[in-house]
Structure 1
C-alpha cells in the first residue's frame, strides 16, 4: 500500500523542521564578500532564513511547514507553526532579505534552487487562509520571479546535474508559482525554455546516475518538469521518446535505490534525498500515465521502493535532518496536486 501523509506523520515532520529553522549554527553561508562590511552573522544577513544549516534548506523547510499547516490545520504543532510565521514572516525582516539581494554581487545567489523554493513557498503561503504571511513574503518572491524572467532568456544551455544547479527543477517549481499567481507570461517563458532545453531529448541513458552527491535524478526531474509544463497530449509523446524502454524497467539505474554509506557526510547523505526525490518523480509520472498503461505498476513499485529506502532516515544526523523531510513531503504528496 502506498504510504500517505497522515496527521501523525505531519506532526513528526513539523517537529523536525521546528527544531532547525531557527537553529543558526552550524551554518554554511553562500555569500560574496566585497569587503569587511559584509562580515556578519547569518541571522544579521538573513533574519528570516538563517537556520537549517543553509538558506535554501531553511526556505524549503518553511515551505514544508506551510504545506503541513494547510493539510492539517488542527494538528498538534499547528500553533507552533503559526507562531513561527508570525515571528519571522514580517515586513521588516523580509525587507532585510530583499536588501541583501540588492547587492550586485548577489545576482546569482541560490540560482536556481533557492529561487525555485522561494516561489514554491510563496505559492503555499497563498493557499493558507491567513493572508498576512503571503503578503509579507510577496516582495521577496517578486525578486526571484524577476530573476527567472531575466535569466532564462540568456541561459543558452540547461544544467543537467543532480544537485542544486539543475535547471529542470527550477522550471518545475516556478511553474506552480506562475499558475497560482495566474502569471501567463511567466508560465509561457517557463514552457518555452523547457521546450528549448529539453524538447528534442530522446532515449535518455541516465548513464551518470547516481553521482556520489546527487539528491535529484537529472533524468526524472527533467521528465517531471516536462509533465508539469506540457499538456498531456504533448507530454506523453515526449515521455515515450525520452524513456522509450521504460516498460522493460530501463534504464535500470533509475529503478534501483541509491546506497547511503555515511549519513554524517553531507555529500553522501544527499543520496537519501535522491531516493526521496526519485520517489516524488516516479509518483507524479505514474499519475500522469493514461488509465491502463502497462508501465504504471513499474513506476508505482519504483516509487514505493525509493520511499522505503529514504523515509527511515529523515532524522538522526543533522546533515540530513536539516532538509530531508521536505523531500519526503514532496514524495508523499506527488500526484495529488501541483500546488
Structure 2
C-alpha cells in the first residue's frame, strides 16, 4: 500500500489564511502562563508581547505567522498574497521584535519548549524562502531567533527528565522541530545536544503502553512524538530495531487495530478541539516514522493504513470558524499536507516548493 499525496488547494489555503488574519491581532480571549516578578510584569498581552499577542496565546500567534509565510511561499500567485504579506510586514518590525526581546529578558523561558520550537520554525521558513520581503522579515526576527535559540539551549542543557505528556510541555515534539532548525542552521552544538538528550531520554524505552493514550486532552501523541524524534537521529536500520523494542505489538497479527483516531463529540469545546489536532499530528508523525524505515520493513503497510485513517479523520470539517479550533488548527493541517516535517528527509510524497 502506498501513501497518496494530499494536496492543499488554493481555496482551502485562503480559508486558513483568513482564519489566521482574523485572530493574530485579536487580543482576547487570552490564555498564557506568566511568571510575575513585579507590577511591571502585569500588562495587557499587546504590551508584554507586541508582535505575538493574538490567537489566544503566544505560541498560536507565532505558528499562525508561520502558516502565513508557509502558504504565501507555497502559493506565490494566490489572491491572499497581499493581505498575508501585509500582516507579516505589520508584525515583523524591529520595534515589535525588540518588545518581544524585552519580554524574554524578563522571562527567559516563557513558552519553552513548545513556543520556542515554533519561533525557530518561523525563522526557518523565512530563511528558506527566496523572496525579498521574506529577507526583510527575517532580518527583523533574527535577534529574537538568536535569543530564543540560546535560551532553548540553556534550558535543554539542564533538563534531566523528559516531559512525556501530550500537550505543550512535551519534550519530544519540540526537540524534533528544534533539531530541524539546528541542522538547517548548521548549528552543530545545538544539534549534538538534542541528539545526546534524545539518546539519554528515549533510547532505552521498551514496550510503550499505547493503550493509555490519550493521557488527557492531548494534541500530540507522547508515543509518536518520541518516535518522530528518534527517526531523525537514527539510521534506518537502527531506527527499525529501536521501533521493534519500543512498539513490539506492531509485529503481531493484531497490529491492524493498533491505533484508532479520536472521535470528537464536542467540536467547539476548547479542550476537546485538541483531539482534532491529535489526529493530524499522529498522521504527520506516522509519515515521519514511515519515511525512516527500510523499504522492506514488514510494518509499512500497517503504518500506512493507520496514517490514511488519521488523515481522513483529521481533515473532516477542519476549517471550523469556531475560535476553539480556528486560532490554531490550520497550522497542524498545513504542517501535515505540505510535509513540513519531511522537507529535509526522505519523503516519497513531497515534491517541494516553487521557491
Bucket of the pairwise TM-score, normalised by the shorter protein:
over 0.9
TM-score of the superposition, structure 2-length normalised?
A: 0.89
The question of 1:77 aligning with 2:80 is answered yes
Q: Distance in 1 between matches of 2:334 and 2:63?
A: 11
Indicate the residue corresponding to 1:52 in structure 2. Answer: 55
Residues 1:244 and 2:248 are matched in the alignment: yes
TM-score, normalised to structure 1, is 0.93
Q: Which residue of 1 aligns with 2:353?
A: none
Deviations 1:181-224 (A, max 9, x none): 11111111111110011011122122320133100100001000
Is the counterpart of residue 36 in structure 1 residue 39 in structure 2? yes
The alpha-carbon distance between structure 1 residues 47 and 5, as it changes in their structure 2 partners (threshold 3 A), is same
1:215-230 → structure 2 map (5 Å cutoff): 215-230=219-234
Indicate if the aligned counterparts of 1:282 and 1:303 stay in contact, CA closer than 8 A: yes
1:268 is matched with 272
Deviation, 1:156, is 0.9
Kept in 2, the 8 Å contact 1:255–1:302? The answer is yes
Change (3 A) 1:309 1:237: same
Q: Deviations over 1:143-192 (max 9, x none)?
A: 12112211222211111000000000121010111011111111111111
Q: Give me the whole-angstrom Cα distance separating, in 1, the residues matched to 2:12 and 2:253.
A: 31
> Please, what is the CA RMSD of the aligned residues?
1.9
Partner of 1:332: 337
1:294, distance to aligned residue in structure 2 (A): 3.0
Instruction: Work out which of the residue numbers 89, 112, 125 in structure 2 matches 1:86.
Output: 89
| Aligned pairs, number | 337
Corresponding residue of 1:62:
65
From the superposition, tell whether residues 253 and 124 of structure 1 become closer, same or farther in structure 2 (CA, over 3 Å): farther
Structure 2 unaligned residues grouped into runs of 5+: 346-355
Shift, 1:291, TM fit:
2.0
1:6-17 superposed matches below 5 A: 6-17=9-20
Change (3 A) 1:86 1:94: same
Q: What is the Cα deviation at residue 81 of structure 1?
A: 1.3
Equivalences for residues 200-211 of structure 1 within 5 A: 200-211=204-215
C-alpha separation in 2, matches of 1:152 and 1:208: 27
Partner of 1:110: 111
CA separation of 1:290 and 1:233: change in aligned 2, threshold 3 A: closer
Say if 1:93 and 1:254 are closer, same or farther in 2 by CA, change over 3 A.
Answer: farther
The offset of 1:254, in angstroms, is: 5.6
